[in-house]
């Protein structure tokens, strides 16, 4: 765990990304997307081809690969097929990342306002929360890629989440695992925690993380440091 970097404002709300923060769904959405490309186009896509589009929402996750392959992706039909496959794939397999449930529940008990801000669509958000055992009621707001015109790395989703929990963005902690998300958090004006569940620390620092931890279990001791004065 690293030493906290100074921040001018007390933290009053925590805005969580979902994938790579609360759960590691990346292998499963990749599995589902690869199966979609097999069914629709009869092609084999490698997991590495999706990596540049992690954290940018499924439209870009699928669309970026399709563009590079020259494939005529149909949205939203192909995305819907991917989600149908995904919800089957995660059953009994998707788990909360270390410390995720404890961090969220402790933050709730300490009185922070909480939101999930994910570039994924609502169907994926609800499926993930149900599978990892985090009741939606723990969060004051749930903002998805369907709710914003511009996806990460644009700041829109975090600005909307801050508004939804009634907290100025400069008093929000954004928790992210991907460069796209950290760039969005910094552009919004939030304090940013990067988790190395998907990318390494230098990559997260370069993207704008004020601090870095392995996971939310590693970051749990920070909660007392962030308590409102």
- Decide: 31 and 131 in contact? Cβ < 8 Å: no
Bridge partners for 211 per DSSP: 193
The yes-or-no answer on residue 121 being catalytic is no
CA distances from 205 to 80, 161, 164 (A): 34, 23, 28
> Does a cis peptide bond (omega within 30 degrees of 0) precede residue 178?
no
Catalytic residue among 17, 24, 59, 121: 17
Degrees, nearest 5: CA angle 23-24-27 = 150
140 included as an active-site residue: no
Of residues 65, 171, 157, the one with CA closest to residue 117: 157
Residues in the chain: 229
The catalytic residue positions are 17, 19
């Amino acid at each position: 765990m690293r030493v906290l970097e100074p921040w001018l404002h007390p933290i009053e709300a925590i805005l969580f990304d979902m994938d790579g923060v609360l759960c590691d769904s990346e292998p499963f959405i990749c599995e589902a997307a690869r199966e979609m490309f097999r069914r629709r186009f009869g092609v084999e896509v490698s997991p590495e081809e999706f990596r540049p589009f992690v954290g940018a929402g499924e439209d870009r996750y699928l669309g970026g690969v399709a563009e590079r392959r020259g494939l005529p992706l149909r949205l939203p039909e192909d995305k819907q097929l991917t989600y149908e496959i995904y919800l089957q794939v995660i059953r009994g397999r998707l788990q909360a990342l270390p410390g995720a449930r404890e961090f969220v529940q402790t933050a709730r008990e300490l009185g922070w306002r909480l939101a999930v801000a994910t570039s994924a669509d609502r169907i994926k958000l609800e499926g993930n929360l149900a599978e990892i055992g985090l009741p939606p009621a723990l969060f004051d707001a749930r903002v998805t890629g369907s709710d914003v015109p511009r996806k990460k790395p644009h700041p829109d989703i975090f600005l909307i989440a801050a508004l939804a929990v009634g907290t100025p963005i400069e008093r929000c902690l954004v928790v992210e695992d991907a460069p796209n998300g950290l760039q969005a958090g910094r552009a919004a004006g939030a304090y940013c925690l990067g988790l190395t569940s998907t990318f390494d620390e230098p990559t997260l620092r370069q993207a704008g993380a004020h601090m870095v931890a392995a996971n939310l279990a590693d970051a749990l001791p920070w909660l007392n440091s962030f308590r409102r004065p």
